[in-house]
Structure 1
Amino acid sequence: MQANDTILITGAAGFIGSYLVGYLNHAGYDNLILADDFSVEKKAPNLAGKRYLEKVHRDDLFAWLQANPGRVQYVFHLGARTDTTEMDYEVHRRLNLEYSQKLWAVCAANAIPLVYASSAATYGAGEHGYKDDHDVIYKLQPLNPYGVSKNEFDKWALQQPQQPPFWAGLKFFNVFGPNEYHKGRMASVIFHAYNTIQSTGKVKLFRSHHPAYKDGEQIRDFIYVQDVVQICVWLMQHRPANGLYNTGTGKARTFNDLVKAIFDTLQLPANIEYIDTPIDIRDKYQYFTEADMTKLRAAGYYAPFHTLEQGVREYVTTYLTTGRYL
């Protein structure tokens, strides 16, 4: 991947997509084609000051690609409907499954490498573990329509005889960091906890409804967004074996750890209140996720990940307290 190559990024106005745009700009990549719906005004600051060639509405992307053959050399497909509380599968089928299938077909037909966003939501309750082996994919039982749509595309991709020259589907775990400010309910716990501390001096966490876990001891693999985009770019540059790759740290931490890291960064005593998990997500709630990172490490990715404390400290001090974007 050279600085003069043209790179298409879908979901470019969203959280991870806009961070990737900024990251690539800082690395000297300006020939970017940005695709998104661009209709949500809250997303506008995500692209402020960033350098790119053109913005294309997601609904017009395939017409644009047809009208611009050979223009794009790489595709990062990060666009999706990511609302895990959206229960209408047709929304996810259209935006996550069918849209991705169409983009895959373009990449395969034109020999364009493709890195796309899958999700740890595909692992469901974790009854089959969190290992990104391809033979496990067909056994997974996601807990919501979003996870189902992501897993359906993963399964479909593995079955395709015609493929891009390189492709990687990244199973994102709990990503946090700057540029997520527009996500509302779906923003990270860190984002919500910081704002709650600023307004009330305390944080509310979900009470455990599982006998094996104490309140606040539910466990997640939290990964800082900078680590996520570094993995995306590394895969595109080094192109190991095609397939699915976990994108976490491999070290799960509790929500209590996370909140205490925020209080520590703000130099405040921890003040946590536990509340019932909402009924609409209680029976689909994951109590433990931890990425098995063996495959990515074996592929040659050796960069260290931010610890939870390091990521929280940078997010809070550099971005949340200043309102900055990357």
Structure 2
Amino acid sequence: MIVVTGGAGMIGSNIVAALNAAGRTDIVAVDDLTDGTKFRNLADLAISDYLDKDEFLALVERDAFDKIDVVFHQGACSATTEWNGKFMMEVNYAYSKKLLHFCLGRRVPFLYASSAAVYGGSAEFREEPEFERPLNVYGYSKKLFDDYVRARVFPTEHSPVVGLRYFNVYGPREAHKGAMASVAFHLFNQVERGEDPKLFGAYDGYGPGEQSRDFIHVGDVADVNLWLWRRGISGIFNCGTGRAQPFRTIAETVIASLGRGEIEYVDFPDHLKGRYQSFTQADMSRLRAAGYNGTFRDLETGTREYVEWLKAHPSS
């Protein structure tokens, strides 16, 4: 049996899809379906059971499960604009610690979602504490759990534990994320509504649309997760492409793919000033040194694929 928490979320459901493609359907998806629209992310996938996140944790605390092959812990509050620190720490930190210790006690491989948000105000993106400067409580919750793993787990003999610092993930099954969905998703929908795609104007030393991120397709993220699990590797790894590309590239690719639209630049919003990463680029040395030689889609290819997927799945 395989457990995927956040299984109805974007990354979790794509991990389920990758497991299905590999022939695995004995999957327990764990999530919170208070937002019932997320069911769409699982509707076309094969799982053996679904559990609410609170019910699942209660079963974990009672040690009620038989053999589990691996836990992909993707469940989290991922809203960088959420400032309820008590809620964030309960969901992202305390819950993760309980599940981690269950897996360590049962020697179950545990792969969890960290985030590039731990780097925040840093100009370097290497998996070292000196570069970790979160700008919001979400990034702090992820950094704190990484610190916990480094201090409490890695110095001891343990079953495989992996933290993946996701950079800017885009791709299928993210419609439920609303404002937190990727720029590619929002620009596609703007053009489909007959609007011009909108990007931020000049800010932080970058020209209009030139703020750059390391954008990684969610299919590549799922591939990295499965590869690390199958090799029993432990560590905290960046999960990006190693290439920063400007937001303008996404807009231009969406326009070219749909055959209409012209980029419109808007003033950078005051509420994001000082809390925004204008540039990210994952240092992928550690993952490559671990043996991962998979390729990553460039932004143009990934965006074109995603546009075609969105055209075929208009409600997703």
**Hey, what's the Cα distance between the residues in 2 that align with 1:217 and 1:49?**
37
Structure 1 segment 241-252 matched on structure 2, within 5 A = 242-252=234-244
Report what 1:322 is aligned to: 312
Query: How does the TM-score come out when normalised to structure 2?
Result: 0.95
Q: Indicate whether 1:61 and 2:56 are aligned.
A: yes
Report what 1:299 is aligned to: 290
Code of the residue aligned with 1:105 in structure 2: it is H
The gaps in structure 1 that reach 5 residues or longer are: 1-5
1:43 Cα deviation after fit: 0.2
Tell me how many residue pairs correspond in the alignment.
313
Report what 2:274 is aligned to: 283
Match of 1:217 among 203, 210, 213: 210
Bigger mean CA deviation after superposition, 230-239 or 154-163? 154-163
Code of the residue aligned with 2:161 in structure 1: it is W
1:68 Cα deviation after fit: 2.5
What is the aligned-residue RMSD (CA, Å)?
A: 1.6
Report what 1:158 is aligned to: 150
**Hey, what's the Cα distance between the residues in 2 that align with 1:47 and 1:301?**
28
Report what 2:5 is aligned to: 10
Q: Indicate whether 1:30 and 2:32 are aligned.
A: no
Report what 1:96 is aligned to: 92
1:325 Cα deviation after fit: 8.9
Code of the residue aligned with 2:150 in structure 1: it is L
1:107 Cα deviation after fit: 0.6
Q: Secondary structure at the match of 2:312?
A: coil
Deviations 1:101-151 (A, max 9, x none): 011110111101111000000001224x1012xxx2265220011000000
Q: Secondary structure at the match of 1:246?
A: strand
**Hey, what's the Cα distance between the residues in 1 that align with 2:89 and 2:263?**
38
Match of 1:227 among 211, 220, 227: 220
**Hey, what's the Cα distance between the residues in 2 that align with 1:163 and 1:95?**
27
**Hey, what's the Cα distance between the residues in 1 that align with 2:158 and 2:177?**
31
1:166 Cα deviation after fit: 0.4
Deviations 1:74-120 (A, max 9, x none): 10000000011001111110000101001111011110111100000
Query: How does the TM-score come out when normalised to structure 1?
Result: 0.92
Q: Secondary structure at the match of 1:16?
A: helix
Q: Indicate whether 1:176 and 2:166 are aligned.
A: no
The gaps in structure 2 that reach 5 residues or longer are: none
Structure 1 segment 31-180 matched on structure 2, within 5 A = 31-65=26-60, 66-127=62-123, 129-132=124-127, 136-137=128-129, 140-161=132-153, 164-180=158-174
Question: For the structure 1 residues 163 and 84, does the alpha-carbon distance in structure 2 shift closer, same or farther, using more than 3 Å as the test?
Answer: farther
**Hey, what's the Cα distance between the residues in 2 that align with 1:213 and 1:158?**
35
**Hey, what's the Cα distance between the residues in 2 that align with 1:94 and 1:12?**
19
**Hey, what's the Cα distance between the residues in 2 that align with 1:208 and 1:286?**
14
Report what 2:302 is aligned to: 311
Preserved contact between residue 119 and residue 131 of structure 2 (Cα < 8 Å): no
1:42 Cα deviation after fit: 1.2
Percent of counterpart pairs with the same letter?
39
